[in-house]
Amino acid sequence: MRIMALPNIQKLSPYVPGLSIAEIQEKYNLPQIIKMASNENPLGVSPLVKEAINQAACEAFRYPQGGNPRLAKAIAKFHNVNPENVVVGNGSDEIIDLIIRIFSKSEKNNIVCFDPCFSIYPIQSAINCNQVKKCPVNKDFSFDFEKLLALVDDETRLVFITTPDNPSGYCPPATSVKKLADDLKKKNPAAILIIDEAYMDFSGDSDKSERLFSLLAQGAFPDNVIFLRTFSKSFGLAGLRLGYGIFPAGLANFYWRSRLPFSVNIIAEAAGLAALQDEAFREMTLKTVREGREELASSLTNLGFKVWPSQANFLLIQPPQNIINAHELHKELLKKGIIIRALDSYKLPGHLRVSIGNNHENKRFLEAIKSIMEN
């Protein structure tokens, strides 16, 4: 007899994260690394957050308050919804995992998502034995919601969409997302639409999406929708693991009953509260990302790259095939200490994803590309 994991666990392929700074520093013996691989905040940590973390250090011996009510209240105020609509988790990853476990833990059930998509959806679904039905995105990476809906059947419990999408940056109009929710409700009233808005802050559609939050809070939006947001991107707290969701109150209640009581730690909670307060840092982040996105997109286009229009803090790019392919470019950039994301794990081997950096990083990135292409 040997100890064996369950069959569905044996078949899992693990999540592939972006390369880490330490890994590359050691491998190529480089003094300085620029990481533009994981869509982190290019300005680092807000000064208000640093101060809050220092203060919270003295509280680290205490358990956090169960259910993080202070944080939930602050998020509710920030988005103009009720605290009953807000859940928080150890990154939105935890919320995604729990949603699957709460609503769809059976081999009979299936979840529906696009292909490619954020790999946490299918991985956590497979851990929970769910079948995964994937709808290919259009050739230009836009979404065909009719085609997605066609995959929904009586056993579908969850439908995941990411908007703006990762890795393309495509952002469907808020009106068609609303229509998708209505149509899903008609087709299968037992299914939930999860709208992952990890990057919505960076898009021009952010306000429209927030209007949908208010509808949800007033009960005027179909009650089959969950919005996910995170502190990992525009708020700059990826390392502390803090995500949140805007849920219909009834569904939020299931979430709180299922969540481990202290999964959001006391430092993350303090940091989240401070991040919501730091308006100036947020404005600066959005400005840096939006301007950097324009600058990188136009410079890369001029260098012969294909660049997909993006509403997020990254660009999906394809190098000019006659000069260099994606794999070579990725490798050559690593040698120069610049990490961007190869997309083999998204089954897009000819493509790369680059996170928008700060001015200095964007400049170094473009210089490195030019020098690689000249050789």
Ligand X SMILES: *Cc1c(COP(=O)(O)O)cnc(C)c1O
118 is a site residue for ligand X (CB under 6 A): yes
Piece of the chain touching ligand X by CB under 6 A; list 85-93, 125-133, 255-263, 328-336 = 85-93
Pairing status of strand 243-246 against strand 225-230: antiparallel
Print the binding letters for residues 289-318 with ligand X: x by CB under 6 A, - otherwise: ------------------------------
Closest separation between CB of residue 224 and ligand X, Å? 20
91 is a site residue for ligand X (CB under 6 A): yes
Across the beta sheet with 192-196, the strand order is 86-89, 243-246, 225-230, 192-196, 156-162, 110-115, 131-136
Angle at 170 between CA 166 and CA 173, to 5 degrees: 130
238 is a site residue for ligand X (CB under 6 A): yes
Cβ atoms of residues 221 and 181 within 8 Å: yes
Residue 248's closest CA among 50, 49, 116, 103? 103
Closest separation between CB of residue 194 and ligand X, Å? 10
Closest separation between CB of residue 124 and ligand X, Å? 11
Site for ligand X in 165-184 (CB under 6 A): 166
230 is a site residue for ligand X (CB under 6 A): yes
85 is a site residue for ligand X (CB under 6 A): no
d(CA 191, CA 224): 7
234 is a site residue for ligand X (CB under 6 A): no
d(CA 128, CA 154): 18
Closest separation between CB of residue 244 and ligand X, Å? 9
Backbone torsion region of residue 219, taken as left when φ is above 0, otherwise alpha when ψ lies between -120 and 50, otherwise beta: left
Comparison of 188 and 265: residue with beta carbon closer to ligand X: 265
Which of 93, 97, 205, 269 forms a contact with ligand X (CB under 6 A)? 93
Q: Which residue is nearest to ligand X (CB)?
A: 91
Comparison of 221 and 244: residue with beta carbon closer to ligand X: 244
243 is a site residue for ligand X (CB under 6 A): yes
Comparison of 133 and 341: residue with beta carbon closer to ligand X: 341
249 is a site residue for ligand X (CB under 6 A): no
Comparison of 145 and 227: residue with beta carbon closer to ligand X: 227
Angle at 139 between CA 346 and CA 177, to 5 degrees: 85
Closest separation between CB of residue 55 and ligand X, Å? 24
Print the binding letters for residues 138-167 with ligand X: x by CB under 6 A, - otherwise: ------------------------x---x-
Q: What residues line the site for ligand X (CB under 6 A)?
A: 39, 91-93, 118, 162, 166, 196, 198, 230, 232, 238, 243
